[in-house]
Amino acid sequence: GQNIDQPTEMTATEGAIVQINCTYQTSGFNGLFWYQQHAGEAPTFLSYNVLDGLEEKGRFSSFLSRSKGYSYLLLKELQMKDSASYLCAVLGAAGNKLTFGGGTRVLVKP
């Protein structure tokens, strides 16, 4: 089966850094995705990690440790527009199926 855990909510201040953790136990693994979803909208792609290590893309970075079943998304220099839900999703071994975690709602305060 698939089990993906991430915190439900996080609050941070504009300009600060927030780290969203995701742990997973899955029967197969072909990579881990992070998506951003604003309320009432569809998810937008942020990052894809398939190998261990840190991938940096502008203000957003994503880290993966396959041996620990662990990933995090790091958001730097937070802006008000970063208030959204962040979804961790694991790509299974077969059929390109994504299994999503429950999502982490991030609220950025002035």
Partner 1 sequence: GAVVSQHPSWVICKSGTSVKIECRSLDFQATTMFWYRQFPKQSLMLMATSNEGSKATYEQGVEKDKFLINHASLTLSTLTVTSAHPEDSSFYICSATDGAETQYFGPGTRLLVL
Of residues 9 and 14, the one with the C-beta less far from partner 1: 9
Of residues 87 and 106, the one with the C-beta less far from partner 1: 87
Q: Are 106 and 93 in contact (CB under 8 A)?
A: no
User: End-to-end CA distance of the chain, in Å?
Assistant: 41
Question: From the CB of 45, what's the least distance to partner 1, in Å?
Answer: 6
Report CA-CA distances (Å) from 100 to 35, 57, 72, 92: 10, 22, 14, 11
- Residues 32-91 close enough to bind partner 1 by CB under 8 A: 33, 35, 40-45, 48, 50, 87, 91
Of residues 21 and 99, the one with the C-beta less far from partner 1: 99
